[in-house]
């Protein structure tokens, strides 16, 4: 009986993770179809798929969030090439690491956890770009990405709170 219960739990977890990954990929694709945000600097995106990653960090744990971030970066690699995949992976891994650390604090709000994750994501991307381009000049863009990280991290937190009931239904099934 115990094996059957464990197999059932594993199947539920696998199905939930598959649904969450699919949601993250669809949000990534939808965001790619949107026009550039008016009056925003080049490269600044909403980061809609980060809603799923934030949810995973907060409610499922860091391991699941790392899995989603890595698979999401794999999708970017397949659809946009090596450099975009590498930059996505570096940003995603640093973001999840920071959010997993901040998730331990009960005093820190979802807004602050999301903003910290967005700032870490942008820093990870800058580091990856500097390594890929073999140039420290990429760090001149840090102030722009810091401001956008604060703004987009806030948007991600707001959207996460809005869609939280639906995401909880996915992970319960």
* Structure confidence by residue, pLDDT tens digits, 60-71: 899 999 999 999
Give me the pLDDT at residue 171, please: 63
Give residue-wise pLDDT tens across range 77-133: 999 999 999 999 999 999 999 999 999 888 899 999 999 999 999 999 999 999 999
0.75 exceeded by pTM: yes
Residue 152: pLDDT band with limits 50, 70, 90 = very high
Q: Mind giving me the DSSP string for 53-114? A: HHHIIIII-HHHHHHHHHHHHHHHHHHH-HHHHHHHHHHHHHHHHHHHHHHT-SSS-HHHHH
Give the whole-number percent of the chain exceeding pLDDT 90.
66
Chain Cα centroid distance, residue 46: 11
Give me the pLDDT at residue 118, please: 96
Contact 51, 93 (CB under 8 A): no
Give me the pLDDT at residue 12, please: 86
What DSSP character marks residue 35? P
Give me the pLDDT at residue 127, please: 96
- pLDDT at residue 5 tops 70: no
Residue 8: pLDDT band with limits 50, 70, 90 = confident
For the chain, domains (ranges, CATH) are 2-172 (1.10.1760.20)
Task: Tell me how crowded residue 33 is: count the other CB atoms within 10 A of its CB.
Answer: 6
3-state secondary structure of 172: helix
Question: How many CA within 13 A on the CB side of residue 172?
Answer: 6
């Amino acid at each position: 009986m115990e094996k059957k219960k464990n197999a059932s739990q594993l199947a539920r977890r696998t199905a939930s993770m598959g649904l969450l990954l699919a949601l993250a990929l669809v949000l990534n694709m939808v965001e790619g179809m949107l026009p550039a945000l008016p009056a925003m600097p080049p490269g600044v995106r909403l980061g809609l798929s980060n809603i799923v990653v934030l949810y995973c960090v907060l409610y499922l744990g860091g391991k699941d969030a790392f899995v989603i971030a890595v698979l999401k970066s794999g999708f970017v690699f397949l659809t946009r090439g090596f450099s975009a995949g590498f930059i996505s992976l570096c940003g995603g891994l640093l973001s999840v690491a920071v959010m997993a650390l901040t998730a331990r604090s009960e005093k820190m709000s979802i807004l602050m956890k999301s903003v910290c994750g967005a700032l870490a994501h942008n820093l990870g991307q800058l580091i990856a770009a500097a390594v890929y381009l073999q140039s420290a000049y990429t760090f001149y863009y840090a102030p722009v990405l810091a401001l956008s990280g604060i703004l987009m991290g806030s948007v991600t937190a707001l959207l996460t709170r809005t869609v939280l009931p639906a995401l909880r239904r996915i992970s319960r099934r």
